[in-house]
Amino acid sequence: MCCAPIVFNILIEAKPHERREFTSTVQVLTGGAPPPASLLEKMELLRFHVTHAYGLTEATGPALVCEWQAKWNNLPRESQAKLKARQGISVLTLADVDVKNMKTMTSVPHDGKTMGEIVLRGSSIMKGYLKDPETTSKAFKNGWFITGDVGVIHPDGYLEIKDRSKDIIISGGENISSVELESVLYRHPRVLEAAVVAMPHPRWGESPCAFLAVRENEVGRKDDVKEADIIAFCRKNLPHFMVPKKVEFLPELPKTSTGKIQKFQLRSLAKAFKITDTKEVPQHHEDQVLALSRL
């Protein structure tokens, strides 16, 4: 079975009468977006063994795979899920993968903290874009294909994406990973879907804005989850500068036909928010989001 991480929610939220017992573990290959560790943990409990792969059309499909190590089997489920959420190591058809400082083209330390841009090279990488030499020249540097993804390399050599370069939120000089913030939001028991984008801030330039779809409570209500609840949860689990300044609740997040969240729509909506140090003023409504999702 192969699917985007957003499909996990459909399986996890299935009603008891919709579920079927498995006689064996179902193997799942996922990609297209970084899967939150909390969702991977829940999938394992349902007897789905998830393998995480990373790739792009320019690399002829999967370029990295999070190859499972037998020594991880004895770790707690939560730790296993965090390891599995990483993008992993290169496949055999890829000659090399690295995370580099794009200004100096030097490799970042393998410390799991220092961020750089993910670059690839090998015979499986495209030669260029058809009849578009300008875009092709921008896609390569010193023989490396520039993916546009920002990531880190851990001491064990496994790579982990932190964000798309265009999705990094720069707030007062601090780089905020929307993927990292989303992973924390998914740990909230009522969060069904989460996406974080930048919104304007008069002092810091940008600040995080979270768009959420929440699951119903025991009596079928969703409106009992408040913005203050989510912000308080984030404050307990994140550094202060990463806490969202605005939380917007939607019936569902706009997605592509394959289930990938369309962040460009959310970014355009977040730009309409106005913020002060103490108050956010929304300038749009849910119907705008639903209208955009139909485009």
Query: Whole domain around residue 28: which residue ranges?
Result: 2-90
Residue 135 sits in the same domain as residue 207:
no
Residue 143 sits in the same domain as residue 214:
no
Scan for tokens 């979270």, then name that residue: 210
Domain CATH number, residue 60: 3.40.50.980
123-150 pLDDT, tens digit each: 999 999 999 999 999 999 999 999 999 9
Please report, for residues 97, 128, 133, the alpha-carbon distance to residue 137 in angstroms, rounded to integers and kept in the order given.
19, 8, 6
pTM of the model: 0.76
Average pLDDT, the chain: 89
pLDDT level of residue 257 (50, 70, 90 thresholds): confident
Output the pLDDT for position 66: 95
Per DSSP, 261 falls in state: B
d(CA 1, CA 104): 41
Given a cut of 80, whether residue 99 has pLDDT beyond it is yes
Residue 161 sits in the same domain as residue 173:
no
Beta-carbon contacts of 139 under 8 Å, excluding residues fewer than 6 positions away, are 58, 128, 129, 145, 146
Residue 259 sits in the same domain as residue 287:
yes
Query: Into how many domains does the chain fold?
Result: 3
38-56 pLDDT, tens digit each: 899 999 999 999 999 999 9
Please report, for residues 50, 112, 196, the alpha-carbon distance to residue 221 in angstroms, rounded to integers and kept in the order given.
31, 40, 24
Given a cut of 50, whether residue 281 has pLDDT beyond it is no
- The last residue of one of the domains, among 74, 90, 106, is 90
- The last residue of one of the domains, among 67, 90, 113, is 90
Cα-to-chain-centroid distance, residue 116:
16
Beta-carbon contacts of 269 under 8 Å, excluding residues fewer than 6 positions away, are 211, 248, 284, 288, 289, 292
164-193 pLDDT, tens digit each: 888 899 998 888 999 999 999 999 999 999
Residue 190 sits in the same domain as residue 265:
yes
Residue 52 sits in the same domain as residue 120:
no
Output the pLDDT for position 276: 53
Q: Which of 72, 88, 248, 220 is nearest to 159 (CA)?
A: 88
62-87 pLDDT, tens digit each: 999 999 999 999 999 999 999 999 99
Report which residue type is found at 92. Answer: L
Given a cut of 50, whether residue 238 has pLDDT beyond it is yes
Residue 180 sits in the same domain as residue 288:
yes
